[in-house]
Amino acid sequence: MKSTAKIATSTRLRKTVNSMTRIALIICGGYPIWVNAILPLRATFKILASEIKVFVDAQPAEGFTGSPPIFMNLLKMILMTVAAGYLGLALFALVFANRMIFPQPPSSYSDSDAIIKIPYGDEGYKISALFLPHEQADRIVFYHHGNGEDLGRSQGRLELLREQGFAVFAWDYPGYGTSTGRPNERRIMEAAQASMQYIVEELGFSKEQVILYGRSLGGGPAVQLAEDHSVAGVILEGTFTSTFRVLTRVRLLPWDVFDNLSRIDRIQAPLLIIHGTLDYTIPYSHSLALYQRAKDPKTLVTVDTGGHNNLVEDFAEIYWEAVDTFIQSL
């Protein structure tokens, strides 16, 4: 007849193995969004730590003499589970990350005489762009929209910017609107650099007259352009430290997409960051982290109770005062 200590230990081991199996299955594909697997992982580590303590504290006097081999087997299972989970996480990110970051909504507009076509890269692709001139403007806002938008969906915001007295240039990422090519960080940056070149060479603005505006996903190309070029200023609205950390909060993988946190301190231009405290798409903490890392001169405008998509609509006075004050200070 088994001793009480052995039965209790066997029960604990079985529960631990079952828990690790469930977590491994979740991480390797049981959930549609890979980040959801990370949350139960915390609880599992607590369970595993508790089980390890039980095995370490077990005394031969209790009748449990198999401590060393069982402990080693448990440790091996823990390491294998963690390794399998991490591998599943990495593979999922490799295969599905771009689809999640760049959902490519259906185009809300068709090509017309107002749509500018700009070639980028060496694959024969072209992006679609829109220029809204203003006769009295001595600055141009280079606008980068969010991942669920295109030029048509951004038209209202662009017109409002022009009404404030600015010339405006906006573009669609590869695969968005009527732009060709599939979106990824490399192609987006090739297109962003081609757009900057177009603004300078075709529209006649100097880089020192360009104000980079990145909304949400658009903060990625805006920050990289600001790192590469001496511009008049940078405005970031509801953007992220990095796209992966929107979901994971911390860095888990050796690569990322649009890692703004690693670049923000290399921006030399004046910086304005606007973010709502009730933004559930990209938490307000992202802008706080960017602001803390950025160099002066910098301004953080916190919109109390503001969300991700309603700053202009519901907090117009705060929004436009922040934008106008910032641009007038340049």
Catalogue the active-site residues: 216, 279, 308
Q: Which residues pair with 120 in a beta bridge?
A: 125
* CA distance linking residue 188 with residue 220, whole number of Å: 9
* CA distance linking residue 246 with residue 251, whole number of Å: 10
What is the CB neighbour count within 10 angstroms for residue 230? 11
| Token pair of 310 as six digits | 């309603």
Write the DSSP assignment of 248-275 as a string of letters. Answer: HSS--SS--SS-GGGTGGG--S-EEEEE
Q: At CA 54, angle to CA 50 and CA 60, rounded to 5?
A: 175
If we measure between CA atoms, which residue out of 139, 2, 158 comes closest to residue 65? 2
CB half-sphere exposure, 327, CA atoms < 13 A: 24
* 199 contacts 209 by C-beta, under 8 angstroms: no
Strands (E), 158-280: 167-171, 210-215, 233-237, 271-276
What is the CB neighbour count within 10 angstroms for residue 96? 13
* CA distance linking residue 72 with residue 247, whole number of Å: 34
- Give start and end residues of each alpha helix (H) in 26-66: 38-57
- Judging by beta carbons within 10 Å of its beta carbon (0-12, 13-18, 19+), is residue 58 exposed, middle or buried? buried
